Amino acid sequence: MTATPSAPRLGRVPGPAGATPDDLRRHRTARPRRYLMCPPEHFALDYAINAWMTAGDAVDVVRATAQWQALRDTYTALGHEVHVIDPVPGLPDMVFAANGGLVVDGQVMPARFRHAERVGEGPVYREWFRRNGFTPLDSPHVSEGEGDFLVVGRYVLAGTGFRTHHEAHDDAQELLGRPVVTLRLVDPRFYHLDTALAVLDDETVAYYPPAFSPGSLAALRLLFPDAVVAAEPDAMVLGLNAVSDGRHVVLPDTATGLAAQVAARGFVPVPVDLSELRKAGGGPKCCTLELR
């Protein structure tokens, strides 16, 4: 059974009264991470399965690859380790590695995609996990990896409404042994949880309230009373599709308001340009799966 909003409050007061961003920044600690990414070698808009996509729209694969490489270089410059899975022809969305599974404590619940166009990605990612020492624990239900499962400290926030089935939330808790909090998405522009909510550290998140059902929004306010609340202009450029190491927040360069908000909390915003991949509804987080 998934956890309920009565779970302990995860948010924290961002600092003592009168604390400046510099004061807060001194307490932010970056933790080295391991990420999995997939080059956009076969990236295309051959179909439309979310509100951001238009089938047949032109994409510049050279530009997309340069932007992806810049994101990878950003991670390595910040001291993180990046693993790369080989792209497969005919799977243009495989670049969005976050959807490949949920990895916790060396175990992984591999993805099972909702749309037929992406179903082929599941076995490819599952085999990569198996060959690289992760134990696959399969759910029979639709689940789209870190697109809809975000780890916050000891907890997992889990999205449903458009892609991942609610039953997969129960499976994640039983298979991986982490308390799971269900959040329902209601706006098709925010089809995955990672488009509407970003994890900044083990106790802090940023989110866009209109993306959630009334009950889920109430749960977020209870669990994270001091969350960063994103404004519409930043949400509409997928600003919340961000990756944080606890200090640095890698986010789309067009999300300038959100960058200022996280900076005011003592985080260090690291803007990147992923405009070509945004044509398919993706940003930094979509391209990045954390290997825990």
CA dist., res. 280 & res. 110, Å (int):
22
CB 94 within 8 A of CB 117: no
Name, in order, each residue with C-beta under 8 angstroms of 177's C-beta and a sequence gap of 6 or more. 104, 105
CA dist., res. 23 & res. 54, Å (int):
45
Burial group, residue 13, by CB count within 10 angstroms (0-12, 13-18, 19+): exposed
Q: Which one from 80, 165, 169, 192 is the annotated catalytic residue?
A: 192
Question: Measured between alpha carbons, how far is residue 33 from residues 38, 83, 143, 246 in Å?
Answer: 17, 11, 23, 10
CA dist., res. 39 & res. 34, Å (int):
16
Q: Is 192 a catalytic residue?
A: yes
CA dist., res. 86 & res. 265, Å (int):
37
Q: Give all strands (DSSP E) within the chain, no chain letters.
A: 34-37, 81-84, 101-104, 107-110, 135-136, 149-152, 155-160, 180-184, 197-201, 204-207, 228-229, 243-244, 248-252, 268-272, 289-290
Per the DSSP assignment, residues forming a β-bridge with 248 are 268
CA dist., res. 211 & res. 214, Å (int):
10
Q: Is 27 a catalytic residue?
A: no
- Positions annotated as catalytic residues are 192, 286
